Structure 1
């Protein structure tokens, strides 16, 4: 027996027996929006709720699960979980946790200027500041996370 856990915080999301099928919502060449269609989540009421025009969604630390309100992918009322957000863990084994991208800060409209123009930013005058605006549920935005991480690893910016 096993369960799928959030890669970032380790929270249990769903059990393997809940998988109905695997679907690919988007094909963006470098990013495949591969999802598990599941029947139920573990403690759905413990997740934070996020609704958009096309779906209702739930997340712990990152966007994990959605159900389409406007069924543009032909997935019906199934719960969909992004495969790149979870890791399968056998019962009784430790849950691995990953850290998110380094120096990543979530900004709201109130604190954006405060962070971008912080006095410590003067020490970074010769560095590139990357500000990515996007949505955690959006496959093209998720692709950009990978691109930014790749550039960071290649030392294109600090």
Structure 2
């Protein structure tokens, strides 16, 4: 689809640099709503589905993602968005499978995963690094964070 003003915005602002979520002024945070929003990861889910990988929010699905051929690296815009999605998916798996893990929003709107220990993990940056180079693997990150 060719949408002229999007091309102009991309040239002006470049590819996606991250994800930010902001709450409405004065509104109490809605953890379930935030978790649902952050778990969508549409681009990553679409790529995985086309490759025959089922993303079921488990650690095993992270291992399957690590095995995908990184065809997205040829397209800077796809790489950037897919990296964001990979980080959000990693965070979704952590929140759903690690006791005490929860989404937290930094003041700048960046979503991170806070563990029961109080440690915070910047999943979006980790996902972008994985999408760009494959290192560290998502399953490896999951193992390290889940044990912390």
- Length-normalised TM-score, structure 1: 0.27
Normalized per residue, the structure richer in helix is 2
Normalized per residue, the structure richer in strand is 1
The structure having more radius of gyration, on CA atoms, is 1
- Greater relative CO, 1 or 2 (CA 8 Å, sep 6+): 2
